[in-house]
Chains A and B, each alone.
Chain A
């Protein structure tokens, strides 16, 4: 197990290097410069480029990035908060923490509501409960999040005035309500759909018949015997989804004016603030890699037949 995790960490490291390289060339392929404004002259741009090392050949720039990252230095912001260290912007100014808090709440809501809804739909297959849930979950998956967020803002914030219109830095629990709904609705519906499908598959298996023949209670059969067997697809989805959500939903953060990482990431691209683009991408990629590892370990916990390493049987 330890060897396995060590191997995974090594692979993760190489993956990150690859992602950095690709990101680097992609962001440099975007035309424009961080220093290009209406007033800037070619000389000013050249000076700024020289100051931040952007005049060097691309390959040298890339090596500098990698060298600095290995030392834990993510560079300094070129434009948005000129001169401030990127690590400070992301981790110390609470941007990441804000997105993370919101994301974790959303993931918990998505799982705690989505999974039971899926079970409910599967158990009542073909009845009205199933039909209602099918309509709701299909809507949830189909409606773009900016529409949902706008509706939430208008109804909960403006009409009913239950929650603040500006969630800001999430100081009260009320500020969480609308963004968490906005962020969790899509994954919740998706989880419910996945759970329903794999649950339907599970409850027609022979071992469910055995469980019924033993005289177990239906509730017990669904939540003990069927659920655990139908969790694999849900876990597969949850991994990358969690990574995506905790690094911030841009639309949600924009709509509710939350100064989180998601919003910052988009502005950094628009501003061509290269070090911030690179840093947010690496943070997101690292989270995806970690979540994939967690998912693989979770498989093993859910289904003892799955072996993580080839020889482990």
Chain B
């Protein structure tokens, strides 16, 4: 299967114990609190979690777009063998958009309203390749617009963003992100602001382009359906930590962490014959200013034990193919298995 080719592939991105904090007047907010994962070339990784779980912050720190007062305070991000966090400003600039590019949530506001789409596409190319001539840049931009399925590309180049529909703008954003042929695309909820039919089109397009170009994608979303559609692997984030990570099959068919199980239970299913009641996850998201001492999910967890409230659970292998989960239940199960 696909997985076999993936195992042979090189590690493209290696995030180790990344910590990002926001220093606000009321105290330190640990938006990302020690997460680690690998991404291989050509792999599509989904990052899911609720609002404020740190999924976007984590992605922004890869590409160096963290807004003040956010700061990376620990860990490393190794891309293609180089630690991105050690880059100086100029090196980071050359890295952004060239090796890693990003698309965002709201295509309506992400394009500059006063420049033509063509102009904005071309500058994404020329700012990394000074030798490229105008004609060549123009041709490449037209080619990219055609790739993302925009008809009349030549004419569209001279138009302004307000003459594009929402879906078309997101297509143009994708074209812009891909114009330098990056090895990794970070998509920060690229379909959230679009209506459902357009969502499906954009997802289809991204899948298609991923197959054609073979780039890796980090897909940030809170929509599990989208994850199932496009991703190879999934990281589930909660309160700035990865609580479970595994292949799409593992996450959907044998979820190990109570939070992941809760998420899946709260999602309606189309294939169910009878209408079943959706079961919500009780409680409220963590206050990151005062995170609990133990497992962040502990206070909301139906299986919560004493140890959960006192100590943070380690990430443990719970299955094959790098399926890991951080829950004291696994430790308990392992001990029981050993005793037997």
Contact = CB atoms under 8 A, between A and B. Distances in A.
Nearest to A208: B112
B141 interface: no
Contacts of A209: 65, 104, 110
B65 A212 contact: yes
B173 interface: yes
Contact of A229 (B63, B98, B112): B112
Interface in A220-234: 220, 224-225, 228-229
A212 B96 contact: yes
A217 interface: yes
A210 B127 contact: no
Interface stretch (A109-117, A148-156, A297-305): A297-305
Interface residues of A, number: 21
A210 B110 contact: yes
A217 to B, nearest CB: 6
B114 A228 contact: yes
Contacts of B111: 207, 210
Contact of A216 (B114, B127, B177): B127
Given A209-B104, A305-B160, A305-B162, A215 B112 contact: no
A213 interface: yes
B162 A205 contact: no
A213 B113 contact: no
Contacts of A220: 127
B93 A213 contact: no
Interface in A184-211: 205-207, 209-211
Contact of B101 (A211, A213, A303, A304): A213
Interface residues of B, number: 28
Given A305-B160, A305-B162, A213 B96 contact: yes
B110 A206 contact: yes
A207 B109 contact: yes
Contacts of B113: 207, 229, 303-305
A51 interface: no
A209 B176 CA distance: 13
Chain A interface main SS type: helix
A212 B102 CA distance: 10
Contacts of B97: 213-216
B69 to A, nearest CB: 11
A214 B124 contact: yes
A225 B111 CA distance: 10
A304 to B, nearest CB: 5
Given A207-B111, A229-B113, A305-B160, A215 B106 contact: no
A14 to B, nearest CB: 33
Contacts of A210: 104, 110-112, 173, 176
- The residue among A207, A214, A228, A303 with the most chain B CB atoms within 10 A of its own CB is A214
Contacts of A229: 112-114
A302 B104 contact: no
B95 interface: yes
A96 B237 CA distance: 71
A206 B65 contact: no
Interface in B79-120: 93-98, 101-102, 104, 106, 109-115
A211 B94 CA distance: 13
B123 interface: yes
Contacts of A217: 93, 127
Q: Interface centre among A209, A210, A305, by most B CB within 10 Å?
A: A210
Contacts of B176: 210, 214
Contact of B112 (A207, A213, A302): A207
Contacts of A305: 113-114, 160, 162
B65 A302 contact: no
Interface string A295-313: 0000000111100000000
B300 interface: no
A213 B102 contact: yes
A304 B96 CA distance: 29
B261 to A, nearest CB: 35
5 contacts: A207-B113, A213-B65, A216-B127, A217-B127, A224-B115
Interface of A: 205-207, 209-217, 220, 224-225, 228-229, 302-305
